[in-house]
A = this chain, B = another copy of it.
């Protein structure tokens, strides 16, 4: 799926509730899903992990919708190399 299509899908599915809730409260739900991902990472259940990765991504995109950020456009910063070192295979030392 295209990043832009996923963002549109999530917009259609959740934007009415998201906008009413606002950005800070939407961020809280993103963090709740980050916690669920952490729990899943501590297990060997691959399906649970995959589900939690999808949920974190969905909440990240939902928050981007509330903030009016186009995620597909935003990731352009990675398209031609690492934003830190500029290389296609990162040579940054700090991370």
Q: Give the A interface residue count (CB, 8 A).
A: 54
Q: Does A20 contact B (CB under 8 A)?
A: no
Contact B9 A6 (CB under 8 A): no
Given contacts A67-B41, A79-B1, contact A60 B60 (CB under 8 A): yes
Which of chain B's residues have a CB closer than 8 A to the CB of A9?
78-79
Contact of A75 among B6, B49, B64 (CB under 8 A): B6
Flag if B69 contacts A46 (CB, 8 Å).
yes
Q: In the complex the two chains form, what is the Cα distance from A56 to B90 in whole Å?
A: 17
Q: Which of B50, B77, B81, B95 contacts A73 (CB 8 A)?
A: B50
Nearest-Cβ distance from residue A28 to partner chain B, whole angstroms: 10
Q: Which residues of A contact B (CB under 8 A)?
A: 1-3, 6, 9-10, 12-14, 16-17, 23-24, 27, 29-31, 34, 38, 41, 46, 49-51, 53-58, 60, 63-64, 67-79, 81-83, 87-90, 95
